[in-house]
Chain A
Amino acid sequence: MKEQVIIADKLSKRFGQFMATNQISFSVSAGEIFGFLGANGAGKTTAMRMLCGLSIPSEGSASVAGFDVYTQTEEIKKNIGYMSQRFSLYEDLTVLENIRFFGGIYGLSDLQIKEKSDALIQQLGLEKEAKKLVSALPLGWRQKLSFSVAILHDPKIVFLDEPTGGVDPLTRRQFWDMIYAAANRGVTIFVTTHYMDEAEYCDRISIMVDGKIDAMGTPAELKKQFDAQNMDEVFYQLARGAKRKE
């Protein structure tokens, strides 16, 4: 059996009376692309923030890259990449300046940054835009850049929170090519999405409803289990039962 890089056991987060995430348990093995699905407000982002060390859980236990989410948040942060729902590179810095800043924060040397940014700019085809402010880039390019910056320091795991929201189909396809390339290099991918075609690209998925994980398995297993033609149907069957409104 492969090494388990994310292990969550009855992980919960409570905000006052509200259980945002209710006793979720799962594990993700190294190099896997793990899709984390659920309707808006199902508790995906909360769960992800706990795994990234941004939020301390209320109950349960979890470890990421072998580190505890309660006590070793800073250790976790060294080993993961994170791309949030909101675009979070600095728009008033250029493409190169952003790469340099975030690379440097993760402790890359000037030489490493130089090599990596050259390769990255070339790979993304941003030669002309390298010295432009990020605010001047179209959304799709920004998201690709954001992802590249998130894996710049070769993290073991990368967390992607709706990375392709609002992005055109072609760019989404390219984005997933980048995700596959990263996974082939052994990076574990933990991704949330609302696009069911993207769910099919994942090795394994879980579907959250009202703060709980209601289904988990490979896309093929889930389709079989719910007797559905595609992931869309699986999702509808589960999400219809949701009591929580947005």
Chain B
Amino acid sequence: MRTIRLLLEKEFRQIFRNKSILALILVMPTMQLIILPLAANYEVKNINLAVVDNDHSNSSAQMVNKIVASGYFKLCASPANFEQGMELIELDKADLILEIPAVFERNITREGSEKVFLAVNAINGVKAGLGGTYLSTIIKNYNQDILLKWAQASKIPAAPQINITASNWFNPSLNYNFFMVPGILAILVTMVGGFLTALNIVKEKELGTIEQINVTPIKKVHFILGKLIPFWILGNIVFTIGLLVSYFIYGIVPVGNLALMYAFVIAYLPAVLGFGLLVSTFCETQQQAMFIMFFFMMIFMLMGGLFTPIESMPKWAQIVAQFNPVTYLIKVMRMIVLKGSGFRDVLPHFFTIILFGVVLNILAILNYRKTS
């Protein structure tokens, strides 16, 4: 116990004396949580729309108004013909061209339907795809409005139609922040914990101080614990900062139990810290450690279900994701924050993550050699 106390004393003194690391620990998560969710948003806005209105009628103007009023589109130009519109796409000034035929109002009034032509700039696939879908939905709604209006006026029953009403459970307003912030927080806790532990031991190797430690009768387990516990505590501090930021900036109040969230983070951290320790036992320089950690962090991030759902990954990628500790933290975070899942719901994940921690730390202790 005394050895561990001494190690902790030493480690905390060193951490608190290294002002740049300290700033990194405190400022980085705050900044990233403020900036990243704004960028990591699947909603497509500000789509540049060019409208070729050959009709210049009331109806066409109404429809364009309706499109712009949706908030997703910016009317960037009204070219005289389709060719001019294409030029705008080629210049990357427009993402979508909507061509309204000259007979638009007449056909709508007479026949209740009319075709419009939509051309999409698919260089940015997401923007194009979503933009096209939004636009056709708006137009369809508009068309139904008209149908309905005519129908009422002439007292003919409206065409039978199936209306799908979707209600979004757990995140009723489909606020992306609610979805992204817990995930990003999971990544931050992982990064701070993993990187700091890996670099810390390798730094001792570089400076040669580890040699002085290795020549003492210190036990390996003590040494590893002495490295693990400080970053375990720091990880929890980062997590707390993150929760405060998500409350004050995004107004996110976890639906579930806060204590359960902490319990899971406490169970989770040894897994990433152990991973950092394991990496450090293989590396001789901080550069090596940095690159190896970076490699794995990228995989952890992209294959952990933060940006893309794991269920839609190919089978092999789903298997990889099962071996990614971050997957579980992101999942559990979202479960608790959005859905209010309780202890029973996340219990299997508890077991998995503790298993990760045990295995990785045992490997780290085995691979750390006081005698080569």
Once bound together, how far apart are the Cα atoms of A197 and B66, in whole Å?
95
Q: Is A102 within 8 A of B216, CB to CB?
A: yes
A92-B14, A105-B6 as given contacts; A73 in contact with B208, CB under 8 Å: no
B211 at the interface (CB under 8 A from A): yes
For A97, the chain B residues whose CB sits under 8 A away are 10, 13
B155 at the interface (CB under 8 A from A): no
Once bound together, how far apart are the Cα atoms of A88 and B210, in whole Å?
8
Question: Which residue of B has the minimal Cβ distance to A52?
Answer: B215
B18 at the interface (CB under 8 A from A): yes
Question: B interface, by DSSP: helix, strand, loop or mixed?
Answer: helix
Per-residue interface assignment for chain A, residues 50 to 94, with 1 indicating a CB less than 8 Å from any chain B CB and 0 otherwise: 001111100000000000000001110110101010111111110
Once bound together, how far apart are the Cα atoms of A75 and B215, in whole Å?
11
Q: Is A93 within 8 A of B217, CB to CB?
A: no
Q: Is A90 within 8 A of B14, CB to CB?
A: yes
A106 at the interface (CB under 8 A from B): yes
Minimum CB–CB distance for B6 against chain A, Å: 4
Per-residue interface assignment for chain B, residues 196 to 233, with 1 indicating a CB less than 8 Å from any chain A CB and 0 otherwise: 00000000000111011111111000000000000000
Once bound together, how far apart are the Cα atoms of A78 and B215, in whole Å?
9
Q: Is A86 within 8 A of B218, CB to CB?
A: no
Question: Which residue of A has the minimal Cβ distance to B210?
Answer: A88
A56-B371, A97-B13 as given contacts; A88 in contact with B211, CB under 8 Å: yes
B367 at the interface (CB under 8 A from A): no
A90-B14, A92-B17 as given contacts; A54 in contact with B214, CB under 8 Å: yes
Once bound together, how far apart are the Cα atoms of A188 and B310, in whole Å?
64
Interface size on A, residues (CB 8 A): 30
Minimum CB–CB distance for A159 against chain B, Å: 8
For A176, the chain B residues whose CB sits under 8 A away are none
Once bound together, how far apart are the Cα atoms of A42 and B12, in whole Å?
40
A180 at the interface (CB under 8 A from B): no
Per-residue interface assignment for chain A, residues 178 to 217, with 1 indicating a CB less than 8 Å from any chain B CB and 0 otherwise: 0000000000000000000000000000000000000000
A73-B371, A89-B209, A90-B209 as given contacts; A53 in contact with B215, CB under 8 Å: yes
For B370, the chain A residues whose CB sits under 8 A away are 53-54, 73-74
The interface centre, meaning the residue of A75, A101, A133 with most chain B CB atoms within 10 A of its CB, is A101
A125 at the interface (CB under 8 A from B): no
Q: Is B209 within 8 A of A106, CB to CB?
A: no
A84-B208, A104-B2, A105-B218 as given contacts; A55 in contact with B372, CB under 8 Å: yes
B9 at the interface (CB under 8 A from A): yes
Once bound together, how far apart are the Cα atoms of A54 and B216, in whole Å?
10
For B208, the chain A residues whose CB sits under 8 A away are 84, 86-88
The one of B6, B9, B207, B217 in contact with A77, judged by C-beta atoms closer than 8 angstroms, is B217
For A93, the chain B residues whose CB sits under 8 A away are 10, 13-14
Once bound together, how far apart are the Cα atoms of A84 and B13, in whole Å?
24
Once bound together, how far apart are the Cα atoms of A159 and B214, in whole Å?
14
A74-B217, A106-B217 as given contacts; A92 in contact with B9, CB under 8 Å: no
Question: Which residue of A has the minimal Cβ distance to B211?
Answer: A84
Once bound together, how far apart are the Cα atoms of A162 and B199, in whole Å?
29
Once bound together, how far apart are the Cα atoms of A32 and B120, in whole Å?
88
Q: Is A86 within 8 A of B217, CB to CB?
A: no
Q: Is B3 within 8 A of A105, CB to CB?
A: yes
Once bound together, how far apart are the Cα atoms of A2 and B18, in whole Å?
50
Once bound together, how far apart are the Cα atoms of A233 and B169, in whole Å?
89
A86-B208, A88-B207, A92-B17 as given contacts; A56 in contact with B215, CB under 8 Å: no
Question: Which residue of A has the minimal Cβ distance to B14?
Answer: A92
Once bound together, how far apart are the Cα atoms of A23 and B228, in whole Å?
41
Instruction: Kindly list the 4 A-B residue pairs having the minimum CB-CB distance in the complex, ordered from nearest.
Output: A86-B208, A88-B212, A82-B215, A104-B6
Q: Which B residues from 39 to 78 make CB contacts under 8 A with A?
A: none
Per-residue interface assignment for chain A, residues 91 to 117, with 1 indicating a CB less than 8 Å from any chain B CB and 0 otherwise: 111000100111011110000000000
Question: Which residue of B has the minimal Cβ distance to A74?
Answer: B217
The one of A52, A89, A104 in contact with B3, judged by C-beta atoms closer than 8 angstroms, is A104
Q: Is A53 within 8 A of B371, CB to CB?
A: yes
Q: Which B residues from 171 to 191 make CB contacts under 8 A with A?
A: none
